[in-house]
Structure 1
Amino acid sequence: MVSVNLFRAARAKILVPSIAAVFFQRPHVRQYHGGQRPGQEYKCGVNAEPLHRYRPGGYHPVVLGDSLSNGRYMVLHKLGWGSYSTTWAAKDQLHDRYVALKISVAEAKRSKEIEILQKLAASPRFHAESSYVNQMLDHFSVVGPNGSHNCLVLELIGPNVSDVIENYCGEDRLPSRTARSISRQVLKGLDYLASNGIRHGGLHSLSERDFIARLGELEMGLVTRQDGKPLSSNVPTHIVRSSSFRNKDIQSLLSSPSIKIIDFGEAFFNFDAPKTLGTPPPVRAPEIVFGDRLDNRIFELVTGQPPFDAVMSTPPILVQQMIELIDDELPSRWKVKWREMESEAVYDEDNWTLQSWMEEVYFDNDKHPEFTREEIRAMAKLIARLMKFEPSLRATPTDILAEPWLK
């Protein structure tokens, strides 16, 4: 995942195996309203993480002002949440700095995240591209009523790119200059990760009041039981809405973006690639669909939508769209499985190519294009180098950084 670095001296979520996927994931895809969820035991008037996940094995109940790790970190605001964690802005009282605390659910699946972040933290910082990857500062465990939770202490940065596009960009896509800049920075960050064998200042002097103001006004809702009985210790007394950054700060970021790659929950080492990966269907690499091992692979930053259909993305439909858009032959080892699923595919009579589809999406009559057709065609050629069926034939981040479009 990729986040814009609002706090430059320290903070758009990245799925490392695929370049295309880094732009598409969001930290809190699901929005629940506690009082409207049928069968919900608890209710709250704030849109945030689902209250039923506050149970043994689930989220740790965090309250603003909580002190963690023997009083070192004081919780100040919520940054966001996901299916497997909540993330909080906190004050590191030992080093007098602001940090992000990512607190996993107690039943979180085993991942390589801490191991990968430790390797990155131990690698030489003279590598210029290391500045594009969020660094782990500390980690510890917190024990609560719902179990034992891993807690990562990370550099504090800004909103993820998908949130910026959705909430601050009028046409649901980034300005051309911003899209080009973020693409370049993401590729540099991925190049740094690859060099480590992995495939995924300014505000520290502010007072706590001014710091919280930069994160947006605090909005909290009281948690109550539907039956009026007292709360159990598994559930927090209040739910905090995730921070919303000030519009003037976002506009400043759009004019001069600085990004970091974050969220290594699905990352892995080259020598230990997983057999499965939790990638959203519209951005899955073909080897995920076909059950092959994973390897490395920019469209949504420029056009505002994924290259493949995000609504009806069953594996057969997704593969058919790939075959239509990718100028490449399906590897022989996948052809038998494709014949088995081909009957469920849906064919498009328009016979799109990657270039024609990019032009169709980008030069929509309702949008105001900033790139020229020549630039979009150049970008289509760039993306085509990434979207090869055979993982070993895909261009590397270093290869793509040499493309004129990114200069």
Structure 2
Amino acid sequence: MEAKSEHRKHFSGESSQSSNNQLLYPNFLDQASEQEESAEYRKGGYHPVHIGDQYHGRYYVIRKLGFGSYSTVWLCWDQKDKHFVALKILKSASIYTNIAYEEIKILRIINGADPRDPNRYRTVRLLNDFKITGVNGQHIGLVFEVTGCNLSKLLLQSNGRGLPLANVRTIVKQVLEGLEYLHSKCKIVHGDLKPENLLICVKEDYNTKLASEVAKIYRFGIKLPASMVANAPLRRMSSLKIKRANKRRISSFKWQLKLIMDTIEDNKKAAPSVMNTSNSPSPSTSWSSDEKPELNPAFVNSEMEVKIADLGLACRIGGPLYETIQTRPYRSLEVLLGAEYDTSADIWSTACLTFELATGHDLFALECGETYPDENHLAQIIELLGDIPKKIVQSGTKSHLLFNKQNKLCHIEQLHPSSLEDKLRKKYDWSVRDAQEFAAFLLPMLQFDVNKRATASECLKHQWLKLNKSL
């Protein structure tokens, strides 16, 4: 992406779907997923991947894990290092290639900023990157450690009630640890924090289970489900040629898969600890293939590991910045006003996603198609947090479009103030104590003045995050 001017091209999480992909589903989330659009397998679009393909001389494709608005993701076996990886292949159009290059720069900074800091593992790790030349153009391939489903999927399981507060504390503490590293050690603004960009960790044995499912399907001569393969249009070949080609491919794949499974068994016997490659600070709490359904963290207290993902909108402090960042419900006040932003914008987003994890609803409930979306967003902020000081309002380049000379919104007059504590008690039926403690944690993260807003380090010291120890 071109970044010669002070601001990069406008590219927010709202106008372009997040690049995070619907990855693995731990047992409690196993379900059929939607398919990528077949029509997007064209010049500038997706690369047609086939089960059994090999990339970069080492990554052997086993099955599809999911897809995003500009990429597909595949479970692969790394034939060099002998472990599973997730291969993300982006569409070939230049806009996606440029985004990938920017993300690669950011991920390399994260990998190398402080190798001794365990908090660097709170962000997904880029293991490799390379180019793929295919029928639809040149694509970028990004190799990551394999992760699980995103927290948005987990929230869906809660049926709009949110997660247990103990689980919310566990998740938010890890997010803040990741942000502390990004902000302090890397000077990086993530720019798009939301549940979709927080991924649950899984253990290597879960990846083995995914590969085993493919082996079982082939063993019984059953066609692979659509969710495991590319939704690419069929090649124009005679039915006989297709059958012969498929037979050869299946035969080769079965043989390769057996070698992989044999290698896994040998590794288990030689050194059981080798099988866990999540590199999480506490690998023992990552999701395993034998987790029982009743341990669904959408309903019961459960130790879990999450990682921050999707750094497509990330930028470095002191470098070129995007004009607009953050998906709408998580967008900070300064970004709405068109004012300068820094790492504190991520803290505002963290407050919003914390509220969503705890209640199942957005902190600021915004609808598509509104006549004055920014004003409506600001109106809800004012209702919850009070009037925005004129000095802060006037710091933004968009302020004259949103506020009049009396420091009132241009088009919205009727406001209905309600404190965060009252909102939690009246709308979500929280106890007085829970509401007070939760509000005390969130409000410093929602300070209008970015210089007074709590930092990730300060948030980590808050008493609310320590309540799990007393349970």
1:303 has 2:359 as partner: yes
Please report how far the alpha carbon of residue 209 of structure 1 lies from its aligned counterpart in structure 2 after TM superposition. Answer: 5.8
Please report how far the alpha carbon of residue 62 of structure 1 lies from its aligned counterpart in structure 2 after TM superposition. Answer: 1.6
Please report how far the alpha carbon of residue 401 of structure 1 lies from its aligned counterpart in structure 2 after TM superposition. Answer: 0.7
1:173 has 2:235 as partner: no
Which of 54, 63, 75 is matched with 1:67 structurally? 54
Q: Given residue 321 of structure 1, which amino acid in structure 2 is its aligned partner?
A: Q
Q: Give the structure 1 partner of residue 72 of structure 2.
A: 86
Q: Give the structure 2 partner of residue 403 of structure 1.
A: 462
Distance in 1, matches of 2:168 and 2:447, equals: 23
Partner secondary structure for residue 86 of structure 2: strand
Distance in 2, matches of 1:306 and 1:356, equals: 16
**Cα distance change, pair 329–99 in 1 and its aligned pair in 2 (3 A):** same
**Cα distance change, pair 65–203 in 1 and its aligned pair in 2 (3 A):** farther
Q: Given residue 120 of structure 1, which amino acid in structure 2 is its aligned partner?
A: I
CA contact (8 A) 1:86 1:103 kept: yes
**Cα distance change, pair 307–210 in 1 and its aligned pair in 2 (3 A):** closer
1:339 has 2:403 as partner: yes
Please report how far the alpha carbon of residue 389 of structure 1 lies from its aligned counterpart in structure 2 after TM superposition. Answer: 2.6
Q: By percentage of residues, which structure has more helix?
A: 2
Q: 5 Å matches for 1:150-229?
A: 150-166=140-156, 168-194=157-183, 195-200=185-190, 203-204=203-204, 208=208, 211-213=211-213, 219-220=225-226
**Cα distance change, pair 271–304 in 1 and its aligned pair in 2 (3 A):** same
CA contact (8 A) 1:320 1:346 kept: no
Please report how far the alpha carbon of residue 399 of structure 1 lies from its aligned counterpart in structure 2 after TM superposition. Answer: 0.7
Distance in 1, matches of 2:292 and 2:108, equals: 31
Please report how far the alpha carbon of residue 170 of structure 1 lies from its aligned counterpart in structure 2 after TM superposition. Answer: 4.2
Q: Given residue 322 of structure 2, which amino acid in structure 1 is its aligned partner?
A: K
CA contact (8 A) 1:273 1:294 kept: no
**Cα distance change, pair 133–77 in 1 and its aligned pair in 2 (3 A):** same
Which of 343, 351, 360 is matched with 2:417 structurally? 351
Over aligned residue pairs, what C-alpha RMSD do you find? 3.6
Q: 5 Å matches for 1:28-177?
A: 47-70=34-57, 72-107=58-93, 108=96, 110-111=98-99, 112-166=102-156, 168-177=157-166
Please report how far the alpha carbon of residue 224 of structure 1 lies from its aligned counterpart in structure 2 after TM superposition. Answer: 8.3
Please report how far the alpha carbon of residue 403 of structure 1 lies from its aligned counterpart in structure 2 after TM superposition. Answer: 0.7
Q: Given residue 300 of structure 1, which amino acid in structure 2 is its aligned partner?
A: E
Please report how far the alpha carbon of residue 115 of structure 1 lies from its aligned counterpart in structure 2 after TM superposition. Answer: 0.6
Please report how far the alpha carbon of residue 60 of structure 1 lies from its aligned counterpart in structure 2 after TM superposition. Answer: 1.4
**Cα distance change, pair 359–58 in 1 and its aligned pair in 2 (3 A):** farther
Please report how far the alpha carbon of residue 354 of structure 1 lies from its aligned counterpart in structure 2 after TM superposition. Answer: 2.4
Distance in 2, matches of 1:249 and 1:90, equals: 26
Q: Given residue 64 of structure 1, which amino acid in structure 2 is its aligned partner?
A: I
Distance in 2, matches of 1:28 and 1:207, equals: 16
Q: Given residue 418 of structure 2, which amino acid in structure 1 is its aligned partner?
A: W
Partner secondary structure for residue 342 of structure 1: coil
**Cα distance change, pair 305–83 in 1 and its aligned pair in 2 (3 A):** same
Q: Given residue 325 of structure 1, which amino acid in structure 2 is its aligned partner?
A: L
Q: 5 Å matches for 1:249-264?
A: 252=295, 254=297, 255-264=302-311
Q: Give the structure 1 partner of residue 252 of structure 2.
A: none
Which of 428, 432, 454 is matched with 1:362 structurally? 428
CA contact (8 A) 1:103 1:150 kept: yes
**Cα distance change, pair 374–155 in 1 and its aligned pair in 2 (3 A):** same
Q: Give the structure 1 partner of residue 433 of structure 2.
A: 374
Distance in 2, matches of 1:250 and 1:182, equals: 20
Please report how far the alpha carbon of residue 283 of structure 1 lies from its aligned counterpart in structure 2 after TM superposition. Answer: 1.6
**Cα distance change, pair 402–49 in 1 and its aligned pair in 2 (3 A):** same
Distance in 2, matches of 1:266 and 1:384, equals: 25
TM value normalised by structure 1: 0.75
CA contact (8 A) 1:327 1:384 kept: no
Q: Given residue 133 of structure 2, which amino acid in structure 1 is its aligned partner?
A: V
Partner secondary structure for residue 149 of structure 1: strand
The total of aligned residue pairs comes to 347
CA contact (8 A) 1:266 1:277 kept: no
**Cα distance change, pair 204–402 in 1 and its aligned pair in 2 (3 A):** closer
Residue-by-residue CA offset, 1:81-127 (whole Å, 9 max, x unaligned): 22222222111111000111111111216232101111122233321
Please report how far the alpha carbon of residue 142 of structure 1 lies from its aligned counterpart in structure 2 after TM superposition. Answer: 0.8
Distance in 1, matches of 2:159 and 2:383, equals: 30
Distance in 1, matches of 2:296 and 2:186, equals: 29
Please report how far the alpha carbon of residue 307 of structure 1 lies from its aligned counterpart in structure 2 after TM superposition. Answer: 0.6
CA contact (8 A) 2:182 2:188 kept: yes
Please report how far the alpha carbon of residue 268 of structure 1 lies from its aligned counterpart in structure 2 after TM superposition. Answer: 1.0
Partner secondary structure for residue 367 of structure 2: coil
Distance in 2, matches of 1:207 and 1:189, equals: 24
Please report how far the alpha carbon of residue 199 of structure 1 lies from its aligned counterpart in structure 2 after TM superposition. Answer: 1.5
Q: Give the structure 2 partner of residue 9 of structure 1.
A: none
TM value normalised by structure 2: 0.65
Please report how far the alpha carbon of residue 265 of structure 1 lies from its aligned counterpart in structure 2 after TM superposition. Answer: 0.9
Distance in 2, matches of 1:159 and 1:46, equals: 12
Q: Given residue 172 of structure 2, which amino acid in structure 1 is its aligned partner?
A: S
Question: What residue ranges of structure 1 are gaps of 5+ in the alignment?
Answer: 1-17, 30-44, 232-236, 238-244, 364-368
Distance in 1, matches of 2:98 and 2:232, equals: 33
Residue-by-residue CA offset, 1:136-184 (whole Å, 9 max, x unaligned): 1111111111211111111111111111121x33444212211111011
